[in-house]
Chains A and B, each alone.
Chain A
Amino acid sequence: MPESEAARYLKRAEHYLKQTKYREALAAVEQALRLEPENAAAWSLRAAVKIETERFAEAVADCGKALAIDPNHADAWSKKALALYQLEQYVPALAAATRAVSLNANDGPAWYIRGICLEELGKSDEAEVAFAKSLELEIILDIREETRRIRK
């Protein structure tokens, strides 16, 4: 099946986001949303760009839109957790992070957010478990990245 135009814009936006070119990433993701306003992944990606540019409340709203379209969109829950954490709303951030890891147990950043929210809420034992899981996933990614670097 040929890739849709919106999907191409999303790929481009992801690439720009990795390169920390936020203005270009935002422009690309908004093109995708113009073409497919009901695309949950696009809303979630726009939330990611907004987090990077410190527009945390707008990011929460974007995650809300993504989750209205797809309530089980793991990445939207993860981004929502991060944005809420930045707004120092630790209880809802923890709930969002918990939902994110229940939908995708391999989401390292969500485990980390869960850990720091638990830490903020004084639950250090539970925080330690979340940090351990986050580290385990981060190490797997790091080993993969290292292998890629060596091959390169």
Chain B
Amino acid sequence: MKTNMPLSKPIRRLISGTEQMLDTEITLLRKPEADPGGTLVDVYTYNIDKNIIIFPASYIGLLKDFIIAKQCTRLLIKGAAARTDGYRVCSFNADSVAAGMRQIYLDALKDEAKKEKKLPVKKLLEMLFLLYRKFHGDISELPWNPIVNARIYHRMEQLRKTQLYILLKDGKQDMDEMEDMMEVLPRRYFVLDKSLFYARDLYLAKVLPADKLMPVVNIPQMKKFNHLEVKEMLTTRWTHTAWYQSKVFGDTMLTIMEKHLNVDWGAENSIEYYAGLYRTGVGLTDALLGYMSMKDWFIWEKPQHLLAAEENMAGYEQGALKRLFGDLLEDPADQRGRT
């Protein structure tokens, strides 16, 4: 471990334990503009010789400790997978991008047909890949979040208050995201995105346990769905709103989460244990993708495949549009030539 910053005893133990178990090195790095959730740059994804955990320079106490705990746990899961069955991530290729964008387009058409104010075609086409990418981000991150948080809760008691603060904050931010685009996006995708976060927060509210984390308590847009009566559900117009639908889908996703996250969160550290957590995460990802009818949207591949896919993103997007619209679509190169 290479750091000149003060760390609490359990965090020092966690870092050195992680380094020993994975036979690797961890460096801590403070950056003024780092992501508030911290960033892990790891040897299993990138061609580097040591892992770096980056967090905001303004985090000096327990907020920093929590980020370190979270990223170390993620590193343990990745490292254990790499040492056993192999570490794979949700990636994409030309076919999977085309499948995803096609489905989003069909759903968008259905929504657009009902709208008085239609979305301009150019915006609609741009939205297809943006939404595809949004779900790639969600599904790459979300299933691992409850796993990491449940593990930290059971193994690092002294971080519980910090963890609750961060989860409450993240829950609100995730729910606020895209709200200003609610009327523009196809309803199905807005609802599925919010359902994922709803299910995650409700799962953690039960596991931690912390009632404050329940979306119907923490999320202003969902507060009115707390203590609903059947009569209200049948008669009130808001049962047709995106937020209510997010709650309904989210409740089903919670059942999926609970079924897959049947884990002893307090077990002793071992490579086998973390490899098991990796398999659990993969299983949960597949189950959620299946529930959202997105199974052919992504493929499990080595992290290097994803890095290469991200470099080819623009090409995949253009290729998918070409498959959808053929020659109806202007070639961007021609457009550039004319301007």
Q: Do A and B bind each other?
A: yes
Which of A's residues lie within 8 Å of B, judged by CB? 18-20, 51-52, 54, 82, 85-86, 108-109, 111-113, 115-116, 119-120, 128, 131-132, 134-135, 138-139, 141-142, 145-146
A-chain residues with CB within 8 Å of residue B61 when the two chains form the complex: 108-109, 111-112, 115, 131, 134-135, 138
**CB distance B6 to A82 under 8 Å?**
yes
> CA of A57 to CA of B6 in the docked complex: distance in angstroms?
16
Interface residue from A18, A115, A116 paired with B57 (Cβ < 8 Å): A18
**CB distance A135 to B161 under 8 Å?**
yes
**CB distance B63 to A138 under 8 Å?**
yes
Q: Which of B7, B62, B161 has the most CB of A within 10 A?
A: B62
Given contacts A86-B6, A112-B60, A138-B62, 6 further A-B contacts (CB under 8 A): A20-B31, A82-B6, A119-B8, A119-B9, A139-B165, A142-B58
**CB distance B60 to A132 under 8 Å?**
no
CB pairs A–B below 8 angstroms (10 shown)? A19-B32, A108-B60, A109-B60, A115-B61, A116-B7, A131-B61, A131-B158, A132-B161, A139-B63, A146-B169
A-chain residues with CB within 8 Å of residue B9 when the two chains form the complex: 116, 119-120
Which of B's residues lie within 8 Å of A, judged by CB? 4, 6-9, 30-32, 36, 56-63, 158, 161-162, 165, 169
> CA of A142 to CA of B249 in the docked complex: distance in angstroms?
32
**CB distance B8 to A116 under 8 Å?**
yes
Which 6 interchain pairs have the tightest Cβ spacing?
A112-B61, A134-B61, A54-B4, A135-B62, A138-B61, A109-B60
> CA of A145 to CA of B63 in the docked complex: distance in angstroms?
13
> CA of A113 to CA of B61 in the docked complex: distance in angstroms?
8
B-chain residues with CB within 8 Å of residue A20 when the two chains form the complex: 30-32, 57
A-chain residues with CB within 8 Å of residue B58 when the two chains form the complex: 141-142, 145
A-chain residues with CB within 8 Å of residue B6 when the two chains form the complex: 82, 85-86, 112-113, 116
> CA of A46 to CA of B240 in the docked complex: distance in angstroms?
61
A-chain residues with CB within 8 Å of residue B62 when the two chains form the complex: 112, 131, 134-135, 138
| Complex: chain A residue closest to B66, CB-CB | A135
| Complex: chain A residue closest to B58, CB-CB | A145
Q: A141-B58, A142-B63 are in contact. Are A86 and B32 (CB under 8 A)?
A: no
A44 to chain B, nearest CB (A): 16
A-chain residues with CB within 8 Å of residue B158 when the two chains form the complex: 128, 131
B-chain residues with CB within 8 Å of residue A109 when the two chains form the complex: 60-61
A-chain residues with CB within 8 Å of residue B161 when the two chains form the complex: 132, 135
A-chain residues with CB within 8 Å of residue B30 when the two chains form the complex: 20
Q: Which of B6, B9, B162 has the most CB of A within 10 A?
A: B6
**CB distance A52 to B4 under 8 Å?**
yes
**CB distance B4 to A115 under 8 Å?**
no
B-chain residues with CB within 8 Å of residue A146 when the two chains form the complex: 36, 169
B288 to chain A, nearest CB (A): 29
B-chain residues with CB within 8 Å of residue A51 when the two chains form the complex: 4
> CA of A112 to CA of B162 in the docked complex: distance in angstroms?
13
| Complex: chain B residue closest to A131, CB-CB | B62
A-chain residues with CB within 8 Å of residue B32 when the two chains form the complex: 18-20
> CA of A111 to CA of B85 in the docked complex: distance in angstroms?
44
**CB distance B165 to A135 under 8 Å?**
yes
**CB distance A135 to B162 under 8 Å?**
yes
| Complex: chain B residue closest to A124, CB-CB | B158
> CA of A31 to CA of B331 in the docked complex: distance in angstroms?
60
> CA of A54 to CA of B32 in the docked complex: distance in angstroms?
19
> CA of A16 to CA of B61 in the docked complex: distance in angstroms?
21
> CA of A119 to CA of B9 in the docked complex: distance in angstroms?
7
> CA of A20 to CA of B55 in the docked complex: distance in angstroms?
13
B-chain residues with CB within 8 Å of residue A52 when the two chains form the complex: 4
> CA of A109 to CA of B59 in the docked complex: distance in angstroms?
9
| Complex: chain B residue closest to A56, CB-CB | B4
Q: Which of B32, B59, B61, B62 has the most CB of A within 10 A?
A: B61
| Complex: chain B residue closest to A145, CB-CB | B58
> CA of A128 to CA of B158 in the docked complex: distance in angstroms?
8
B32 to chain A, nearest CB (A): 6
> CA of A75 to CA of B279 in the docked complex: distance in angstroms?
49
**CB distance A86 to B162 under 8 Å?**
no
B-chain residues with CB within 8 Å of residue A85 when the two chains form the complex: 6
| Complex: chain A residue closest to B60, CB-CB | A109
| Complex: chain B residue closest to A82, CB-CB | B6
A36 to chain B, nearest CB (A): 27
> CA of A112 to CA of B276 in the docked complex: distance in angstroms?
35
> CA of A20 to CA of B4 in the docked complex: distance in angstroms?
13
A81 to chain B, nearest CB (A): 9
